[in-house]
Structure 1
Amino acid sequence: MTPQASRPLRTADVARESGWSVQQVRDLERLGVLPPAARSANGYRSYGPEHVRALRAYRGLASAAGPVVARRLLAEAMTGTLTDVAAAIGAVHVRLAGERDEALRARAALGAIEGEESGPDADVMTITQLAAALGVRTSTLRFWEQEGLAVPERVTTLRARQYGPAAIREARIVAALRSSGYGIPAVRDVVGSLRRLPGVDEGIAEARLILDRRLDQIATRTVALLRAGADLAAVLDPAGT
């Protein structure tokens, strides 16, 4: 639906056109997401198409980068220069591209793990060796252990940790997921699924499915950012719409 340009818009009109509630429109105006509304003689707010576009831009930015970043970007758009706003939007694109690259690297790591064979004669690693192989600190492995992730198969009387093939593989999967931005609770759920599944391949397939869902989410956020960019451009340059 195209905003009515021939008459001022009421709060309810803007809410209907943008998909937000009346209270959300008022709250977002208060937070600086919208240009200040004009006031009629009787004190009622009076909006225009630029307010609808700003709200649509905010929705896309919030989906792509989160509400805090979206509010900052819209507030900057009201007061900053076109160059500054374009740079901020570009930074969000770069961040999304980085998240996508991390997820793809994690998928590649899972593929490498899946292609390996580990038998009873495979090497056992100390915590120092495993940390070096994963590119993390030994304190990180201890933290993962406390959280129920990548648990060593044996701890000697001198508190030396030893990781066998299964524990090493699990640690590598944890590292792959963590490097892709997954928090500890989400990784714990994955590891729990891996342990319940009958074989290594099934566990890795489950982890890959989770990464595929993350890639889908990043793609959705990227499309939302593209749409928000078009709406934001219309806010910055109404004459070009």
Structure 2
Amino acid sequence: MRLFRDIVGAVAQNLQSGIQLRPVDLARGHGLSTQAVRNYEEAGILPAADRTLHGYRTYTPLHARALDAFLALVPGHGHRTATSIMRAVNEGAVEEAFRLIDESHAQLLDDRRTLRAVENALRDLAPVTAAPASGESFIGPLAHELGIRPATLRAWERAGLVRPRRDPLTGYRVYDGAAVRDARLAHQLRRGGYLLEQIAPLLTQVRSAGGLEPLEAALLTWRERLASRGRALLAGAAELEAYLRAHG
């Protein structure tokens, strides 16, 4: 693929040179099927191809540039947004393409802020809350332990922060070890100034990860994915700029 790109890049400066590429040339150079190339053209990702007298599609180095740009945009923006960006460029709506790019960058920034908030919240938690507590508790004793009212625990339950089960005979709320842990986490975060809507997603992640220690590993993976997206956005921007220059 690199050799193919070098070849088409050398001739992309003179798109009137008459060089023609068959669908199979474009496909092989990018590791795609010829049907995929045709689908990309029909979706507006590539400019419309010329046709021979017999109706066969013919492409140029400009189409190769377009395909380079699209494939580079996908990792950072996703297939749908990358398609919309290329379609906007090919339709002459470059400002719309820039707006879509800005939205992807804004989403990445928002995701970074969310990650930072979760990491800050974890730093605010005492190590003793890392694992589910042993034993069970009812709402009164648990509220007394935390120094809050039972009504507060019920409000946290409605917000999805804690999930006590109900005793089948009495109907009383029973907080098992995980529910006690979640209540303690919620209590610490509330004292740290976090809102209920900020705490709920964190506790959901704690439950799905099986505790705070596994969540730390998940956060590391999350951070690495965000870094990869950031680099992918840069790579996509570079290829798109090259296409815009060739597109004229």
TM over 0.5: yes
Gap regions ≥5 residues in structure 1: 145-149, 195-202
Aligned-pair CA distance for 1:238:
0.9
Aligned residue for 1:113, secondary structure, equals: coil
Aligned-pair CA distance for 1:131:
8.3
- Once the two structures are superposed, the pairs formed by residues 137-216 of structure 1 within 5 Å of their partners are 139-141=158-160, 150-152=162-164, 165-169=180-184, 178=201, 187=205, 191=207, 193-194=209-210, 203-216=211-224
Aligned-pair CA distance for 1:80:
3.5
Against the structure 1 CA distance between its residues 12 and 139, is the aligned structure 2 distance closer, same or farther, given a 3 Å change threshold? farther
Corresponding letter in the other structure for 1:217: R
**TM-score, structure 2 normalization:** 0.69
Tell whether the 8 Å contact from 2:89 to 2:97 is kept in structure 1 after alignment.
yes
Task: Provide Cα deviations, 1:172-219, integer angstroms capped at 9, x if missing partner.
Answer: 7x9668369xxx7xx4xx62552xxxxxxxx31210111211121121
Residues of 2 paired with 1:43 and 1:117: CA distance? 70
Aligned-pair CA distance for 1:59:
2.2
Tell whether the 8 Å contact from 2:129 to 2:185 is kept in structure 1 after alignment.
no
Q: Does 1:20 align with 2:32?
A: yes
Query: 1:94 maps to what in 2?
Result: 106
- Once the two structures are superposed, the pairs formed by residues 1-241 of structure 1 within 5 Å of their partners are 1=2, 2-4=6-8, 5=11, 7-115=19-127, 122-123=145-146, 129=152, 139-141=158-160, 150-152=162-164, 165-169=180-184, 178=201, 187=205, 191=207, 193-194=209-210, 203-238=211-246
Against the structure 1 CA distance between its residues 162 and 103, is the aligned structure 2 distance closer, same or farther, given a 3 Å change threshold? same
Aligned residue for 2:125, secondary structure, equals: helix
**TM-score, structure 1 normalization:** 0.71
What is the total number of aligned residue pairs between the two structures?
213
Identical amino acids, percent of aligned pairs = 27
Aligned-pair CA distance for 1:36:
0.8
Tell whether the 8 Å contact from 1:10 to 1:47 is kept in structure 2 after alignment.
yes
The CA RMSD measured in Å over matched residues stands at 3.7
Residues of 2 paired with 1:43 and 1:140: CA distance? 62
Residues of 1 paired with 2:91 and 2:22: CA distance? 24
Against the structure 1 CA distance between its residues 114 and 80, is the aligned structure 2 distance closer, same or farther, given a 3 Å change threshold? farther
Residues of 2 paired with 1:3 and 1:139: CA distance? 63
Gap regions ≥5 residues in structure 2: 12-16, 134-141, 190-196
Against the structure 1 CA distance between its residues 42 and 114, is the aligned structure 2 distance closer, same or farther, given a 3 Å change threshold? farther
Residues of 2 paired with 1:62 and 1:237: CA distance? 20
Against the structure 1 CA distance between its residues 166 and 153, is the aligned structure 2 distance closer, same or farther, given a 3 Å change threshold? farther
Aligned-pair CA distance for 1:237:
2.0
